[in-house]
Amino acid sequence: MSTPPVDPHLPAVHLRPPRNWINDPNGLVFHDGHYHVFFQYNPYGPQHANMHWGHFRSPDLVTWEELPIALAPTAGGDDAAGCFSGNAVSVDGRMVAFYSANRTGRWWQPVTTAESHDGGHTWAKRPESLIPHPPADTTMYRDPYVWQQDGRWRMLVGSALADGRGAAQLYESTDLDNWQHLGPFAADAPRPLPGGTDTGAGWECPQYAFWPTPDGAGRPGLLIVSTWDTDAGPLATAAYPGRETPDGTFHPSAPVRLDHGPDFYAPALLRAPDGRWLLWAWSWEAREPTWVREAGWAGLLTLPREISLAADGTVHQQPAREVAGLRGEQLLYATGRAQADPAALGEVGATFDLTARLMPSPGRPGGLRLVTSADGSEHLDVTVDTVAGEVVVDRSRASRDPRAVGGTYRIPCPAARPGAPVELRMVVDRSVLELFLSTGEALTLRLYPVSDAPWSLRARSVDFTVQAWTLTAPAGPVRGTATQDATQDALHAHHPNPAQGAPCPEPPVPAADFSRP
């Protein structure tokens, strides 16, 4: 039997199963010595349909193990059309997953739960929905997020209000079973965001991070929402920095764009045991559906990020410190000055972690070029523009295949001014780039080089210091096909666990859009 060729775009260190569709990260929780990352998953194909919860776990954010599917639709049940997004908490030795129950013909998705008492290997659903109906005057309702704060449990649910505002509905509980609706935690009419998008008429996947203060007054908080438009669908991700008064009221300031790239959505938070807030997001495909169908997979999760809030309300993101544990051989160290003619820095491979200090030549933009073809015609540019005060990422020529999406994307960069250096970090993993500025901004996009030549870096019109390391997933059960095959088999067999639902003789009809829902 011949071995199928390795897909050159399948990521090496970003989480996803070896095939089929994934989207939102769900249920992020630290439990029993492990970080658990669940995700929206269609085990039947590379399109948005048949939503289950897939499951990874890790003791250290470096070595990941794929576990069997956690949640599956129950035939005839409240979630018969899919177990949609939510989160999970660890309490009294068990995990409790809160999720959206989807059923055909119902515009809202009730909040319901499932519990695991064995570290997430098996789950038992509650017999009826936890919150069966949305509040009055809402036109969209889904995606619970639950956390514990000041001795009580709090829940946000994404929604759209009849008056045209997006909102995060707030509930509170003392026991996780009985919840009181307190009204919107925050709501806002559509407002412009950088990149030509806005805060949306509906909010999906609301998340909330907070930081303690010595006196408990005016506690800093950060509300993150994924913005939705009825006609256009998912738009972008907005972050509302603000402060929370002792009575629990959140006072948001103006929204900012959380990630300036085109392929970042539905981020989810996890509070680590050391108090850090960690974040994963979904990066969807940026290629035509025919190519996705040929590849047999769609979507990936970003690397974990640390997210924090500066005293002035600025949102800062950087790769989780554990990501450095994926570094292997140092590929290059280069320093010098490049003129208008590009200077070759060396080969980097298709999966690498790079740090750079760049200072463009006076009066002209300058930066780095990732070259992926022998003749240099296939490439991606990262340029510092000191006139505009931006870092510009151009993927217009990042693939010779016309089915790949191109475009130019910009990050506001406070450090991009004449005579000043810009420091950045760039993680590339075959078909995804995550770019971080030292000032806290981030940009995520997908790219699909198709040439066979070794990848290399060039610099132009810039003083530079660049270092790069290969990134390698550790040996072990990371995205293992054996685990995945066992999971697939379980879907077609009788399963006594009620969270798995009744077996489906065949998957429902696939959705038409293979790139995003």
Please answer whether residues 278 and 270 qualify as being in contact, where contact means their C-beta atoms are separated by less than 8 angstroms: yes
Question: What does the longest C-alpha to C-alpha distance in the chain come to?
Answer: 69
Looking at domain 324-471, its CATH architecture is Sandwich (2.60)
Q: Reduce the DSSP state of residue 499 to 3 states and report it.
A: helix
Q: Residue holding tokens 């085109």? A: 262
> Which pLDDT score is estimated for 216?
64
pLDDT at 1: 47
| 381: phi then psi, degrees, rounded to nearest 5 | -110, 140
Is the separation of the CB atoms in 248 and 221 below 8 Å?
A: no
Q: What is the pLDDT of residue 171?
A: 99
Containing 103, the helix (H) or strand (E) segment is none
Cβ burial 325-354 (10 Å sphere, 16+ → b, else e) = ebeeeebbebeeebeeebbebeebbbbbbb
**In order along the chain (517 residues), what is the average pLDDT of each group of 10 residues?**
75 98 99 99 98 99 98 98 99 98 97 98 98 98 97 98 98 98 98 94 98 82 96 92 94 98 98 98 99 98 98 96 98 96 96 98 94 97 97 98 98 94 98 98 99 96 98 68 42 37 38 40
Q: Are 43 and 55 in contact (CB under 8 A)?
A: no
User: Can you give the pLDDT at residue 512?
Assistant: 34
Confidence (pLDDT) at 474: 87
Domain 20-322+484-500: CATH architecture, name and number where available = 5 Propeller (2.115)
Residue 481's pLDDT is what? 40
Give the chain's radius of gyration (CA, Å). 23
Distance CA 487, CA 491 (A): 7
Q: What pLDDT is recorded for position 496? A: 33
| Residue boundaries of the structural domains of the chain | 20-322+484-500, 324-471
Q: Is the separation of the CB atoms in 302 and 268 below 8 Å?
A: no
Q: Using CA atoms of 408, 411, 417, 423 in order, give the dihedral in degrees to the nearest 10.
A: -110
Tokens 């938070």 appear where? 269
CB atoms within 10 A of CB 507: 14
Dist CA 196 CA 186 (whole Å): 23
Nearest to 16 by CA among 440, 431, 457: 431
